[in-house]
Structure 1
Amino acid sequence: MTESDYDGWPDKYSDPRDRPHPDVLRITVESFDEAFEDTIAAIDAAADGEEQPAVVSFATVGELRKILTDRRIEILRTLMNTDGAAESISALAETLERDYRTVHDDVTLLADYGIVFIVEDDDRSKRPYLPYERIHLDVELTAIDTGEEPATA
């Protein structure tokens, strides 16, 4: 972005549909230190003109699994298949053949974690919006360090 892109901030970009977004959302499981190091590397790469994915990080695999349930992944896929937006949460619930309240709660939770956006139009309907073409899950499983010496024969 250039300095002129920031003219009128935040009004100019108050609607997430008007903001520039990368094609990929990267969802990771990493410690705070790893996330910090990745952020610094991304800033350096962006300064060199490289496009960077949007990143949402979770501290544990368990936290990620609580948020990205099969039903919520279904919401994300449905939004991706509708060019990133639904007419409303009601319309999304109807498409999914699910109860409005549970879809509303799921969309709200995904928005709270920065995975989707909720856009309020003039008619006050809330539209779920997913600006990414792809979501990349980056989860690395490693052995747990128990601090114990390995058993020897």
Structure 2
Amino acid sequence: MTILNVTVGTSIEKTLDNFGAALESAINGNPVAPQFGVGFASMAQFGDVFTPKRWELIAALKATGPLSIYALAKHLDRHYRNVYKDVGILTEWLVIEKNSDGHIFVPWDEIDVRLPLKKDAA
């Protein structure tokens, strides 16, 4: 199962610590499970990328399999230009990909979104 890990509000230090631990494990000859992820500094930034219409696009694309942007726009009953823009943004954030035929698809079995809650200092 391939999982895209999406985190919101995780510090760059924590991300680098996780990378360092994985690198050290690999250098020591230990197997390292592949991890695929993207991070957002804030919930606002996350919301700018993962709009409700883009979640609909992701779900439809996963259900139908690879499609051209034109076919996806028709399937969603949306304007081509808007779907084209959404595909560009979701591709940039690694959520969808293009195959050798130029069709787009969702390569993930799951998208795991995490928002760590911070404790207020008393």
Q: How high is the TM-score relative to the length of structure 2?
A: 0.81
Q: Secondary structure at 1:48's aligned position in 2?
A: coil
* Shift, 1:69, TM fit: 0.6
Q: Deviations over 1:13-52 (max 9, x none)?
A: xxxxxxxxx6111111212112212223344566633433
1:23 and 2:2 matched: yes
With over 3 angstroms needed to count, the CA separation of the structure-2 counterparts of 1:51 and 1:101, relative to structure 1, is same
With over 3 angstroms needed to count, the CA separation of the structure-2 counterparts of 1:72 and 1:44, relative to structure 1, is farther
Q: Deviations over 1:33-84 (max 9, x none)?
A: 122122233445666334333111111111111100111111111122124x
Q: Secondary structure at 1:55's aligned position in 2?
A: strand
Structure 1's unaligned 5+ residue stretches are 1-21
With over 3 angstroms needed to count, the CA separation of the structure-2 counterparts of 1:136 and 1:42, relative to structure 1, is farther
The answer to which structure, 1 or 2, has the higher relative contact order (CA under 8 A, 6+ apart) is 2
Whole-angstrom CA distance in 1 between matches of 2:111 and 2:80:
25
Matches within 5 A, 1:45-124: 48-83=30-65, 85-86=66-67, 88-119=68-99, 121=101
User: What is the root-mean-square deviation in Å for CA atoms of aligned residues?
Assistant: 2.3
Q: Which has the larger radius of gyration?
A: 1
Whole-angstrom CA distance in 2 between matches of 1:43 and 1:72:
34
Over the matched positions of the two proteins, sequence identity in percent amounts to 27
Letter in 2 for 1:136: D
Letter in 2 for 1:40: G
Whole-angstrom CA distance in 1 between matches of 2:7 and 2:70:
30
Whole-angstrom CA distance in 2 between matches of 1:52 and 1:102:
33
1:133 and 2:109 matched: yes
1:142 and 2:101 matched: no
Whole-angstrom CA distance in 1 between matches of 2:25 and 2:112:
19
With over 3 angstroms needed to count, the CA separation of the structure-2 counterparts of 1:43 and 1:134, relative to structure 1, is farther
Whole-angstrom CA distance in 2 between matches of 1:89 and 1:45:
41
Structure 2's unaligned 5+ residue stretches are none
